[in-house]
Structure 1
Amino acid sequence: MDKRLKTVPSAKRLLFNHIAELGVVSKAELLTSMSLTSSTLTRLLDDMVAEGLLQLSGLGHSSGGRRPLLYEAAPDYGYMFGIEISRVSSSLGLFDMQLNPRSLIHWPMDEAMTPERFIQHVHLNINAFLRDHHIAREQVRGIGIGAVGPLDRERGIIVQPLHFPAKGWVDLPICELMEQLTGFKTILDNGANAALLGEQWALRHEKVQHMLYVHAGVGIRSAMMSHGQIIHGTVDMEGAVGQMIIQTDGQRLHETGNYGALEAYVSVQALEKQARAQLKTGRSDLSPLLLEQPDRVNFAALVKALHAGDPFVRELFMQSAAYFGIGLANLINVLHPEKIILGGALINAHELFYQTAIEVARKNSYYYPQYEPLFSKGELKEDAVATGAAMMMWRELEI
């Protein structure tokens, strides 16, 4: 059992969550949306203001009597850090109790970014953030980490991630190491789950209950939310969606994994592999930009050629987008989400990839067009994981 599972939230916790989600709200509005008596609600509000959890936010409009007091979550009651650990880039954010980002930074993950160097880099920037914003260490509630899987969430360990540029990331007790250096409580979940939590918060006024997040980059990662709660499986294998078989006699990306798997057609590595193979044939219609050193052609060069209108590269991306759409349709037909958020390097490479993928997904979804989920690139984009990681800690707070 996950040691972080808790009992039913208290009325105080539920009230705080509700106010935080609404932003600014009056007591009368709270009475209509919560199962509390007027006297109990008044007592809780007064206590939470006295504790510094809530603050008064002016007066609302009068409906005939005195103007009502307005309440909101006090942003400076506490602060959380959110960290993204990814293969290409990572990020660190400082967030207040309203989950406003006070500072956010991103940096590349290269061969030199070992776990030791990573943790030191995070530690230095945490101290810089606290100093810049004049925040005492006692005000920090903890650190949330959204990382590439597979993970052992309960023990706070990054188990065996693939394709990290630097060594040392296997069986890494990241939470223990972070707590030892920073002194702050640290919790871990996979990056796709964190991103979905962040996007849910950004879209909270839409009240979406069933949401799917799919990230297409170096690998393919996914997360699902039902009735507003992240679905956690028996094991944490966020990249397993990339092993969905879409062509039974298809190719294999590496020496491991399924033949005909989705990631063999839809990933940064797959596109680079296909481009290099084609470039070595000596075709005369290829861009000089790509022909100079076929073995060194990378994703950045392909994206540049795509935006320059190279027909060969365009075809590579469109074929990949079509396969991605098939994979999305399979997920839609099983999970039936209301909304699907797509992110990652492939989604952001060109609008044509995104549009082609969702068009293919829609046409291959059962009950289309009667049932048609909404697609989005999300509100937070590259900051979704760090925001969701901070929210993980926000949800952990004892209130």
Structure 2
Amino acid sequence: MRDVRRANRASLLTDLFHGGRQSRQQLGDTTALSQASVSNLVGEMIEEGLVEEAGLVGSDGGRPRALLRVAPGYGYVVGADVGESRVAVELYDLAMSRLGAAGYRLADPSDHESVTQLLIRGLADVTTQADISRDEVLGFGVGVVGVVDREGLVHSQTTGWEAVPLGDVLGAATGLPVFVENGAKTVGQAEMWFGAGRGARHAVIVLIGRGVGAAVVRDGRGHRGPDSGAAEWGHTTLVYEGLPCRCGARGCLEAYIGSDAVSVRLAEATGSEPDPRLLARTLVGEVSGPAAVVVTETVGYLGAGIADLVNLFSPERIVLSGPIGAALGERFLPEIRAAAAGHALRHPFSTTRIDVCQLGPDAVAMGAATLPIARLLADGGMAVTDPHTVVSRAAHRRQISRVRG
């Protein structure tokens, strides 16, 4: 019975979070629960502060019905982006309004201990900005470069991390539930929930910056293999024995479309000073001469990489994200589509749409903040305090406050 109650609460809470304000009757229709069950469970969640009434809607000849929503202030979530040159930390309420943000330069991305300290500092900074206590934070999501295995260990050849237990260390230091995931996957979840992937059941969200990754969504769920699944799309081979890649292999897709690699080719072609930001600067202005040749080649390589995704997964939608993915998509989307069409099988390509991200070029931290929300929704706002007792998260927090008080 506890499992049934949890599942029914999860269904209602998920529908409210993703569907927006709804009446009790609408929730009964969309979740297929009886009106009695909806009323009882909604009443519980209102008492806990998890759900609140937010306006009225007219009915056919009867009294106006109250609209419900997930209460934005029930709790807060923190998301972080651990990149190769910086760490960004952001705090959100349950309406995904950003209430605090902090960013720090990263001197040595291989020093995971300093990264952990920056994350702890970021948590303190954003909670201070928002004037909330750490007890009000429901969880801390972190998007990282590299593979996150099923034990939560981070492996990243490009940053020199080998089996780093980031989640365990950060959880012990903060006392919070910590969720660690590949950064491309956190962007993918954000775009699927709030952005260009919304409404699709089968999609691939690609993240292109210094590194190149992808999040594959099948039947509405993120695909996950034994480790991070298709997130290492950038290290699939595009050219046999081709250009050297940062991972140590040759011919990887990242060596042809990653910003560092393309910037090197741009510098050689134009006689410019080598600068990792050269590609980003080039895409802002007019692209002509030798630079146009390099950019055209890059668009072609990107199209070929997208064609591989089309042939492998037959997605409804492919979303270009990340600072370089968004910039290339905004400037050259028709050319990218044409290049992909030239390398993909005709039928799966005919059913695939290629779009540009809607949440901005850097949504890793926002996506990471959705990880604790996903757990909250799946649990129906309930927490397990021992194998035999199930209580609401609100009641659990009240218990903790009494113990501390």
TM-score w.r.t. structure 1 length? Answer: 0.85
Q: State the secondary structure of the residue aligned to 1:110.
A: coil
Structure 1 residues 219, 81: closer, same or farther in 2, change over 3 A?
Answer: same
RMSD: 2.7
More deviation, 372-381/137-146: 372-381
Give the corresponding residue for 1:243: 235
1:174 to 162, 166, 169: 166
- Unaligned residue ranges in structure 2 (runs of 5+): 382-405
| Greater shift in the superposed pair: 246-255 or 212-221 | 246-255
Aligned equivalent of 2:320, options 342, 345, 369: 342
Report the counterpart of residue 263 of structure 2 in structure 1.
Answer: 272
Of the three residues 340, 343, 350, the one matched with 1:361 is 340
Counterparts of 1:26-41 in structure 2, within 5 Å, are 26-41=23-38
For residues 4 and 363 of structure 2, the distance between their equivalents in structure 1, rounded to whole angstroms, comes to 28
Alignment of 1:210-289 (within 5 A): 210-236=202-228, 240-248=232-240, 250-253=242-245, 256-257=248-249, 259-276=250-267, 278=268, 286=270
Deviation at 1:9, TM superposition (A): 5.7
1:352 aligns with 2:348: no
Residue of structure 1 aligned with 2:101, choices 94, 104, 119: 104
Which amino acid in 2 is paired with 1:318?
Answer: T
Q: State how far apart, in whole Å, the 2-side matches of 1:342 and 1:87 are.
A: 20
Among candidates 152, 157, 177, match of residue 185 of structure 1? 177
Q: What is the DSSP-based 3-state SS (H/G/I as helix, E as strand, rest coil) of the residue aligned with 1:299?
A: coil
1:45 to 32, 42, 60: 42
Report if the CA contact (8 A) 2:88-2:103 is conserved: yes
CA contact 1:219–1:239 (8 Å) conserved in 2: no
Select the residue among 58, 71, 78 that pairs with 1:74: 71
Paired residue for 1:140, among 137, 141, 155?
137
Q: How far apart, in 1, do the equivalents of 2:4 and 2:85 lie?
A: 38
Pair 1:9–1:332, CA change in 2 (3 A): farther
**Residues 80 and 143, structure 1, Cα contact 8 Å, conserved in 2:** yes
Structure 2 residue 313 is matched with structure 1 residue 317: no
Deviations 1:11-52 (A, max 9, x none): 011111111111100112112212211111111111111111
Residue deviations 1:271-325, cap 9 Å, x none?
234345x45xxxxxx45xx1xx4xxx12323443452544111211110110110
One-letter amino acid of the counterpart of residue 324, structure 1: L
Q: Distance in 2 between matches of 1:132 and 1:264?
A: 40
3-state DSSP of counterpart to 2:146: coil
Runs (4 or more) in structure 1 with deviation over 4 Å come to: 6-9
Tell me if the contact between 2:182 and 2:231 (Cα under 8 Å) persists in the aligned partners. Answer: no
> Is the alpha carbon distance of 1:157 and 1:19 closer, same or farther for their aligned partners in structure 2, counting shifts above 3 Å?
same
Q: Distance in 2 between matches of 1:205 and 1:199?
A: 5
The 1:355/1:110 distance shift into structure 2, 3 A limit, reads: farther
Partner of 1:300: 277
8 Å contact from structure 1 (residues 362, 372) kept in 2: no
Structure 1 regions of 5+ residues with no counterpart?
1-5, 280-285
Q: Which stretch of structure 1 is more off in the superposition, 210-219 or 362-371?
A: 362-371
Instruction: Give CA deviations for 1:218-242 in whole Å, capped at 9, x if unaligned.
Output: 2221110011110001233655322
CA distance in 2: counterparts of 1:122 and 1:261, whole angstroms? 31
Amino acid at match of 2:239: Q
**1:87 and 2:84 matched:** yes
1:282 alignment counterpart:
none
Does the 8 Å CA contact 1:195/1:387 hold for their aligned counterparts? yes
The one-letter amino acid of 2:313's match is L
State the SS of the aligned residue for 2:46: helix
Question: Offset of 1:147 from its aligned partner?
Answer: 0.9
Equivalent residue number for residue 11 of structure 2: 14
Q: For the residues of structure 1 that align with 2:45 and 2:85, how far apart are their CA atoms? A: 42
Distance 1:252 1:101 in 2: 40
Question: Do the aligned residues in 1 keep the contact of 2:89 with 2:126 (CA within 8 Å)?
Answer: no
Q: Distance in 2 between matches of 1:205 and 1:250?
A: 33
Give the distance between the partners of 2:44 and 2:361, measured in 1 at CA: 38
Give SS of 2:156's match: coil
User: Structure 1: how far apart are the matches of 2:148 and 2:112?
Assistant: 15
CA distance in 1, matches of 2:114, 2:247: 30
Q: 1:39 and 1:19 mapped to 2: Cα distance?
A: 17
Share of identical aligned residues, percent?
24
Q: Secondary structure at the match of 1:171?
A: strand
SS at match of 1:105: strand
Indicate conservation of the 8 Å contact 1:82/1:388, yes or no.
Answer: yes
Gap change, CA 1:313 and 1:174, over 3 Å in 2: same
